[in-house]
Structure 1
Amino acid sequence: MMKTYLIDDDNLGNYLTESMLRVEGFSTHISTFDSAAVALQELLQQQEAELPQVIFLDLNMPEMNGWQFLDALKPHADKLQACHIFVLTSSLALSDMEKAKSYDLVAGLIHKPLDSEEVQAIRAQLQDEQ
């Protein structure tokens, strides 16, 4: 059973991403958060066995953005080794791509909207690591 967190303040985007993940049979358990701060609190309270295998993280959010979320996870990196964070962005900025690569927990950067090819590529990437 794959557990997924979806962190994005765009409700329509969340609905579309969640629908895509369900249609593709990617995840049986999807938790959606429109606040990175709430998602962070939830994530850090989880036992290691309960952690999501995949986190889709939007960069541009109020209160706490995606970069701040990633910075807050750094002290907990050891506990979060099993989590694969995919940054979701509508930005095509090379600086975002470079910055995302500087975070060990980031497994990839995906341009919105997520499509079935991306979902299949992520699934293949995760299976290769098992």
Structure 2
Amino acid sequence: MKTYLIDDDNLATYLTEQLLRAEGFSDAICTFQSAKKALDKLLMRAKENLVPQVVFLDLNMPEMDGWQFLDALVPYEEELRGNCAIYILTSSLALKDLEKSKEYDLVAGLIHKPLDSEEIRAIQSRLDEGPTGA
């Protein structure tokens, strides 16, 4: 499984990547410190039908934040739906973030940092069940 990890925090990225590897979650993890670079790569890969199955997305980043990343994907939702699940990783406890995340069809969930083994197993279980509503 291909996974994108988008976060400008080096330590958070390192810890999340190590945990994903330890849990055997993904055989290919691409990390990005820039949401803009991740978006460019994702859209390029979408043309080749090679999108990541899972994207872990931080909300608070410079240049392009997580919300702007999600807004930029809206025109591509149809082709990404069922093929690419986005999980927001955030240190924010704001209820408004949870509510706003529900406005995006591609967002499969919002997870409070740090990601843990239990969450990874829950995500894996959902992925094994396959896309819903398709």
TM-score by length of 1: 0.97
In structure 1, the partner of 2:36 is 37
List, as ranges, runs of 4+ consecutive aligned residues in structure 1 with deviation greater than 4 Å: none
Mapping of residues 1-130 of structure 1, within 5 Å: 2-46=1-45, 47-81=47-81, 82-129=83-130
1:79-125 Cα shifts (integer Å, max 9, x gaps): 21110000000011110000001100000000000000000000001
SS of structure 1 residue aligned to 2:89: strand
TM-score by length of 2: 0.94
What's the offset of the Cα at 1:49? Answer: 3.1
Aligned partners of 1:52 and 1:42: how far apart in 2?
10
What's the offset of the Cα at 1:48? Answer: 4.8
SS of structure 1 residue aligned to 2:60: coil
Identity of aligned residues (%): 66
Aligned residues: 129
AA partner of residue 64 (structure 1): M
Q: Which runs of 5+ in 1 are unaligned?
A: none
